[in-house]
Amino acid sequence: MKLIVAIVQDQDVNALMDALTEKKYRVTKLSSTGGFLKSGNTTLLIGVEDDKVNEVKELVDHNCKTREITTSLLTVTMPGDTFVPYPLEVKVGGATLFVLNVDEFLRV
């Protein structure tokens, strides 16, 4: 068995969760925050049999889009200690996946 940890953009979560639950996958949704942009994203925990990993990857691929985001995350210091927001183009997603081996799965 595998545990798929999928970090996805908030905009894609509902469509992805609908697609997963329609195929009878069990999913846990966690609110999370990206360390770089410091803005919200969503982490899904999906426990699956080994032979289902590829189907889950395909559903993620189908439902999660790459987006270009312009952020003023960085600031540059100007003479006189003025901070000027520095626009930064960042490409986010479609999704970041970790596929982990599960030693034991229990539902009690």
In which region does residue 58 sit, left (phi positive, over 0), alpha (psi from -120 to 50) or beta (all else)? Answer: alpha
Question: Nearest distance from residue 80's CB to ligand 2BA, in Å?
Answer: 29
Taking the least distance from each CB to ligand 2BA, the nearer of 35 and 79 is 35
Question: Nearest distance from residue 95's CB to ligand 2BA, in Å?
Answer: 7
- Selected from 14, 36, 50, 86, the binder of ligand 2BA by CB under 6 A is 36
Residues lying near ligand 2BA in the complex (CB under 6 A): 7, 34-37, 41, 90-93, 96
